[in-house]
Structure 1
Amino acid sequence: MNLAEILERNTLRIPQNSAVISEDVHWSWKEFNTLVNRMGNALQGLGVRKGDRVGIYLPNSPEYLVVYFAIAKIGAIAVAFNIMYKGAEITYIINNSEATALVCLDGEPLRNVVGVVGELPTLKHLIVVPARAASGSNSTAVFSAAFPVLSYDKLLGAGEPVLAAVDCAADDVVTILYTSGTTGQPKGAMLTHRNFSDNAKLNAFYTLHINDQDRFLTGTPFCHIFFVLTVLGPIYKGAAVITMPRFFPDKALELISRFRVTHFAGVPTMYIYMLQTYAAHPELYDLQSWRFAQAAGAAMPAEYIERIEQTFQVGFCECYGSTETSSTCTYGRLGHGKAGSIGPAAEDWEVQVVDGGNREVACGDVGEIVVKGPGVFRGYWKMPAATREAFTDGWFHTGDLGRRDEDGYFYIVDRKKDMLICGGYNVYPREVEEVLYSHPAVLEAAVVGLPDPVKGEIPKAFISLRPGQQTTAEEIITYCRSKMAAYKVPRLVELLPELPKNMSGKILKRSLKATSQSDAETG
């Protein structure tokens, strides 16, 4: 089998249908598959073979998709880089994965790589994609003397247009995705052709309610596991993928309007900003084509779900998964969701909530979510001990705390590592955040635990306000006291213009916590 065979199927069945669309290109399936073949042949001409690792250091773009499927088609392994990574992060991942080739964007990304190229002994080929948005860029010429670079356009032009997909075993690795590395260095999750094919099929046929006339846009980066849902799922059905290099709420609404997008997926923060942007100028957008909205990556505050459905007139679905599960392992059934729930287990998946002894807990009790299913990864690259620690009797430990109701719907309570113990009581930050989001002045909220000499830990809330709204820390604390038990109430509240986020739009709680602890130590 080979993941890239889905392109072949679409090319045979619907060759002239739209496949990839951006502000610069509009490719049919036949055109897209031919470009993938050319790049695959070019990579083979450079000596890239089955099992070799090839890095992708590109923003969301048509070129990203060409490179990704070319790597898969020749049986090599794609190593996805966040476009925000800098020298140390690039060095670690290339050296850990032993990548022999890297495809990167001209401009700052190329400068980042060239700055550390002397520390990358396995890297043989550096392929540069022109930064088309930056007219007059000449960084390739400047840096070509320091390290030989190859032109993406020239390689593509010279590659032959016909290429047979390399036959791979189902458990051959197709992608290595590096986790965020909350402790120590990032771990490379090995995802296989079967993992991605099966979860792409799950998303295509069940989660997304999508067909080959639809168009899919996402604000999340392709280097994230969301790729399986937002790219592979639509492509499995033959739907077109719209690329947007970076999420901006006005740009997302503009592209939905211009390209008649039917499906959008993002993290909760993206929807919050899109609601805000649309409310300010609804006359700028025509969203009649949009019918399906999907969220994952973080918990969607319950009060926003109804606003999304009513404002944008879309069906809403919340999914749950992780890098190690190839995205979706539970999802809310369209029209049958429960506010705050991540839905029942997905087809062919088993999901349990267990205690510290790995025993399933009673309905309604909180425990760790563990899963079994076709998307569960093969293990961590060159980390056998960490791989063993992640499993118990074949069940993958997600690290998320949750509960199950009597109807089989699951609810995320919090990350296991985020739970804090205040005076002997368990406090789940997400529960406190839900109360904060219900305050009419609050736009965004995050709660972390801080050390306390008496209570052990105390909750601190960080919030940003809706435009034109005002409040105080004291008023927020008083509001929380009226809504929840005293031990859950934030002892400290800090108002910020905006909460820090990563490229995926997730709020960076670690950054907030580290800054607060540093301030406390120096204060």
Structure 2
Amino acid sequence: MPETPFRAVDPAQPAVIVEPSGDVITYEDLETRSNQVAHLFRDRGLQAGSCVAVLVENRAEYFELVWGAQRAGLYYVGVNTHLTEAEAAYILRDSGAQLVIASDTLAPLADAILADPALAPRGRLMLGSARAGWESYEQQRSLRPRTPIPDESEGDFLLYSSGTTGRPKGIQRPLSGGPVGSHPDVPGRWLRELLDFAPGDVYLSPAPLYHAAPLAWTMSAHRSGGTVVLLHHFDPELALDAIARHQVTHSQWVPTMFVRMLKLPAQVRDEYDLSSLRHAVHAAAPCPVDIKRAMIDWWGPILFEFYSSTEGVGATTITSQEWLRKPGSVGKPIHGRPYVTDDEGTELAVGEIGTVWFADSGEFTYRGDPGKTAAAQDSRGGVSVGDTGFLDQDGYLYLTDRRTHLIISGGVNIYPREIEDVLLMHPAVADVGVVGVPDAEMGERVIAAVQLQAPATAGPDLAAELISFARTKLAGFKVPRDIRFPAHLPRTPTGKMRKHELKQLLMNS
């Protein structure tokens, strides 16, 4: 008889609580509804290895959908709800999704991207009020049995990279083909073994579920018998309130969320009791040293950072105590063996900056692109996702930037992250992105795009002040030659800057 993927808990225990709506799904609900979803997929002809797409915002039903796909041995694609019609349609075509489930709140986008009748040949289901051309998800689910399908096997997400430097890539890992419970639950192992996560603990996830880490870690919290508190969208004060009201024990963040919480007025931050919080996990983007130090000062040494990728090729971790000894590091390897090479593939010595690789790591392919898959591998059998950094004498890894973000000005390598970290500490700055644009004399010229706390203060005087501020902390060749003040910067919801969009914006302005 197939087994449940969830740790044995009280069936009435909440599996999911959504804020600010207060919607709740219990473990009994999650078990029965995910079984019904698995039956629904089988009834539509989806077998192990088939693909479904989920175009749904953060809401409780997201979990019954992905757990149903996981239990049916399917690949499931979480479609970014902020994509344009063309971007979302590309993902549906590229993934080969046979069936699409969409939310009625996203109906205009769903209708537009599915105008092509060749897409989603196995059906189109809509949560909420189904429009013409869509079936009611709730009605179709309710008609199915509440018991497990007889041929359960572990599925996996098929997620697309953030597309920070171009068209996103589908990252596909081989399915185990094993029964439920055979999935290599790496985040769950870290939660239980490194972060003392136990049944009944409460896990806060403030980021969109269509990204790898929020989806993987929340599902691992379910495998571990915890309650997931899910924010419909990130709001800094709502996040603090959720921690206090739900006695959150574990949470996961990206650095831009830390910045926004730190910039709340002190009296607002002090209003909430955060004493239940034992561990605050962060990843997805580099965290500026001063920001992380400020968070440790505020929350205590409970921050746990990991560095990995959707590809799952290697990982490092670092505790707050280690980080205070090694500020700026992303830790020591917990999966795979890191090494650093120059552009010719020669392995570099301690402290030298180059491309970061991991040997002895996991398998993956970029869907439909064997050339890109091969380009991510080297002759040693290592894999790289294009990050640059260095290793210190104790084996701790430090990241400098993405290789594709590197600015070469006058023959000198400049890493935008270093400049961004400095400008972000100016009190007038809410967010910042640094890129290089073509320059006839220098090859590239450094430009900073700054989103202000008070947009009305933008102007030549503030630009000059920011440049002077940067000169006090950076070598002259790294200081931006130009400061621009756009209203918003093109970040993904997990905090990654879409540098190709930013560069285009600045070149056209």
If the length of structure 2 is used for normalisation, what is the TM-score? Answer: 0.89
Letter in 2 for 1:384: P
Q: CA deviation at 1:167?
A: 5.2
Matches within 5 A, 1:388-399: 388-393=374-379, 394-399=381-386
Partner amino acid, structure 2, of 1:179: S
Counterpart of 2:97 in structure 1 is 99
Matches within 5 A, 1:493-508: 493-508=483-498
Distance in 1 between the 2:309 and 2:92 partners? 23
Aligned-pair distance for 1:229?
4.8
Residue 161 of structure 1: aligned partner: 146
- Aligned residue in 1 for 2:14: 18
- Which SS does the other structure have where 2:308 is aligned? strand
Which letter does structure 1 place at the counterpart of 2:329?
Answer: S
2:405 partner SS: coil
Offset of 1:165 from its aligned partner? 6.6
Match of 1:190 among 172, 188, 207: 172
> Per the alignment, in what secondary structure is the counterpart of residue 331 of structure 1?
strand
Identity of aligned residues (%): 28
Write the mapping of 1:356-371 to structure 2, written as runs, cut at 5 A.
356-371=343-358
Are residues 1:77 and 2:97 paired? no
Distance in 1 separating the partners of 2:49 and 2:394: 44
| Counterpart residue number, 1:245 | 232
2 CA distance for matches of 1:82 and 1:332? 29
1:303-350 deviation per Cα after TM superposition (whole angstroms, max 9, x unaligned): 011221222346112221112117x7111134222321111111x421
Structure 2 matches for 1:292-311, cutoff 5 A? 292-311=279-298
Residue identity matched to 1:190: Q
Match in the other structure for 1:30: 28
Call closer, same or farther: CA 1:511–1:196 in 2, change over 3 Å. farther
The equivalent of 2:162 in structure 1 is 180
Of 60, 70, 86 in structure 2, the residue corresponding to residue 88 of structure 1 is 86
Matches within 5 A, 1:309-320: 309-313=296-300, 315-320=302-307
Structure 1 match to 2:329: 341
Aligned to 1:135: none
Give, as a single letter, the amino acid of the residue that structure 1 aligns with 2:156: V
Write out aligned runs for 1:504-515 (5 A): 504-515=494-505
Find the aligned partners of 2:206 and 2:142 in 1 and give their Cα distance: 30
Aligned-pair CA distance for 1:284: 4.5
For residues 89-136 of structure 1, what are the alpha-carbon distances to aligned partners after superposition, in whole Å with 9 as ceiling and x for unaligned?
A: 2322222222111111003x2222223434141413111111xxxxxx
Deviations, residues 400-439 of structure 1 (Å, cap 9, x unaligned): 0001111111111011011111111111111222222343
CA distance in structure 2 between the aligned counterparts of 1:483 and 1:184, rounded to whole angstroms = 32
* Alpha-carbon offset, residue 260 of structure 1: 1.5
Whether contact under 8 Å (1:441, 1:466) holds in the other structure is yes
Task: Name structure 2 gaps, 5 residues minimum.
Answer: 177-181
Q: Determine the structure 2 residue equivalent to 1:115.
A: 112
Question: One-letter code of the match for 2:496?
Answer: K
- Corresponding residue for 2:55? 57
Query: What's 1:231 paired with?
Result: 218
- 1:436 corresponds, among 411, 417, 423, to 423
- How far is 1:482 from its partner? 2.7
Q: What amino acid sits opposite 2:78 in the alignment?
A: A
Q: For residue 444 of structure 1, give the secondary structure of its aligned residue in structure 2.
A: strand
Residue 136 of structure 2 is aligned to residue 151 of structure 1: yes
- Residue 518 to residue 67, structure 1, CA distance change in 2 (3 Å): same
| Secondary structure of 2:264's aligned partner | helix
CA distance in 2 between counterparts of 1:382 and 1:246 reads 32
C-alpha change, 1:193 and 1:51, in structure 2 (3 Å) is closer
Structure 1 CA distance for aligned equivalents of residues 482 and 300 of structure 2:
38
In structure 1, C-alpha distance between the alignment counterparts of 2:118 and 2:138, rounded to whole Å: 26
* Candidates 375, 380, 384, aligned match of 2:370: 384
User: Is residue 2:250 matched to residue 1:263?
Assistant: yes
**Aligned partners of 1:95 and 1:121 also within 8 Å:** no
Of the structure 1 ranges 282-291 and 263-272, higher mean CA displacement relative to structure 2 is found in 282-291
Q: Residues 165 and 499 of structure 2 are in contact (CA less than 8 Å); yes or no, is this contact kept in structure 1?
A: no
CA offset digits 1:469-506 (Å, max 9, x no partner): 96621122222223222211111122345433222233
Give the CA deviation at 1:509: 2.9
For the Cα contact (< 8 Å) 2:89–2:113, is it kept in 1? yes
**Change in 2 beyond 3 A, CA 1:50/1:208:** same
- Contact kept in structure 1, 2:455 and 2:487, CA below 8 Å: no
Q: Per-residue deviation at 1:238?
A: 1.9
Q: Distance in 2 between matches of 1:178 and 1:189?
A: 6
**What letter corresponds to residue 454 of structure 1 in structure 2?**
E
Going from structure 1 to structure 2, the CA distance change for 1:42 and 1:278 (only over 3 Å counts) comes to: farther
Q: Go from structure 1 to structure 2 and tell me whether the alpha carbon gap of 1:365 and 1:283 turns closer, same or farther (over 3 Å shift).
A: closer
* Higher deviation after alignment, 469-478 or 218-227: 469-478
Instruction: State the distance in 1 between where 2:389 and 2:288 align.
Output: 16
Q: 1:365 to 1:506 in 2, by over 3 A?
A: same
Q: Which residue of 1 aligns with 2:470?
A: 480
* 1:175–1:192 CA contact under 8 A, matched in 2: no
Q: Amino acid of the residue matched to residue 158 of structure 1?
A: L
> Cα distance 1:371–1:163, how it changes in 2: closer, same or farther (>3 A)?
same
| Structure 1 unaligned spans of 5+ | 131-137
3-state SS, counterpart of residue 462 of structure 1: strand
Deviates further, 154-163 or 84-93: 84-93
RMSD, aligned CA: 2.6
1:272 to 228, 246, 259: 259
- Once the two structures are overlaid, the 10-residue window that deviates more, 90-99 or 460-469, is 460-469
SS in 1 for 2:33: helix
Q: Which secondary structure state, in structure 1, belongs to the residue aligned with residue 467 of structure 2?
A: helix
Give me the whole-angstrom Cα distance separating, in 1, the residues matched to 2:358 and 2:13: 37
Instruction: Give the CA deviation at 1:514.
Output: 0.9
CA distance in 2, matches of 1:513, 1:240: 41
1:104 counterpart letter in structure 2? A
Amino acid at match of 2:369: M
Contact 2:164 2:498 in 1 (8 A): no
The CA distance in 2 between the partners of 1:355 and 1:236, in whole Å, is 41
* Secondary structure of the corresponding residue to residue 395 of structure 1: coil
Segment drifting more, 256-265 vs 449-458: 256-265
Counterpart residue type for residue 87 of structure 2? E
Is the CA contact (8 Å cut-off) linking 2:51 and 2:99 kept in structure 1? yes
Shift of 1:386: 1.6
In the alignment, what sits opposite 1:518?
A: 508
CA contact (8 A) 1:371 1:398 kept: no
Under a length normalisation based on structure 1, what TM-score does the superposition of the two structures give?
A: 0.87
How far off its partner does 1:15 sit? Answer: 4.1
Task: Quickly say closer, same or farther: Cα 1:174–1:490, change in 2 above 3 A.
Answer: same
